[in-house]
C-alpha cells in the first residue's frame, strides 16, 4: 500500500513538473525527438569523441572544427527550444537539463501507456 501511494505521489509530482514542457520549449517531445541528432546514451563507448554526443565538447580545434561544432550545438538548442544567448559554452551547458526533462517525459509516456 505504501509503495503504491508513494509511486502515485511521485507520478503526480512528475506530471506537474512536466506539464509546462510545451509552453516552455514551444513544441512537443515527439517533435524534438524527431528533429534532434543529439546522442545522449551514457554507455556509448566513444561519447567523449563523438561530435553529436551531449558529453562531447570542443574547447580547442581548428576554426573549421569549432565552426561546425558551434553550428551543431546552436541547431540543437533551437530544436530543443533553448535561447541562443551567451556563447558556445552556454549553449552546450544548457542542453543536459533539457535532455533530462525529455527523459522524464519518455518515462511518463511509458508509465501511462
Q: Whole domain around residue 74: which residue ranges?
A: 2-112
Structure pTM?
0.69
Residue labelled with grid coordinates 551531449 = 54
| pLDDT at 1 (0 to 100) | 45
Query: Pick from 74, 68, 111: which is nearest to 94 by CA?
Result: 74
In whole angstroms, give the CA distance from residue 101 to residue 1: 29
Q: What percent of the chain has pLDDT over 90?
A: 1
Q: How confident is the model at residue 75 (pLDDT cuts 50, 70, 90)?
A: very high
pLDDT at 96 over 80: yes
| pLDDT at 25 (0 to 100) | 67
Instruction: Provide the domain count of the chain.
Output: 1
Amino acid at each position: 500500500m505504501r509503495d503504491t501511494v508513494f509511486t502515485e505521489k511521485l507520478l503526480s509530482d512528475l506530471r506537474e513538473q512536466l506539464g509546462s514542457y510545451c509552453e516552455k520549449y514551444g513544441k512537443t517531445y515527439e517533435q524534438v525527438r524527431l528533429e534532434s541528432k543529439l546522442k545522449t546514451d551514457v554507455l556509448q563507448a566513444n561519447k567523449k569523441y563523438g561530435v553529436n554526443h551531449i558529453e562531447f565538447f570542443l574547447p580547442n580545434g581548428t576554426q573549421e572544427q569549432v565552426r561546425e561544432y558551434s553550428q551543431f550545438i546552436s541547431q540543437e538548442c533551437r530544436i530543443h527550444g533553448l535561447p541562443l544567448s551567451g556563447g558556445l559554452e552556454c549553449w552546450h551547458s544548457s542542453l543536459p537539463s533539457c535532455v533530462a526533462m525529455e527523459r522524464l517525459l519518455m518515462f511518463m509516456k511509458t508509465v501511462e501507456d
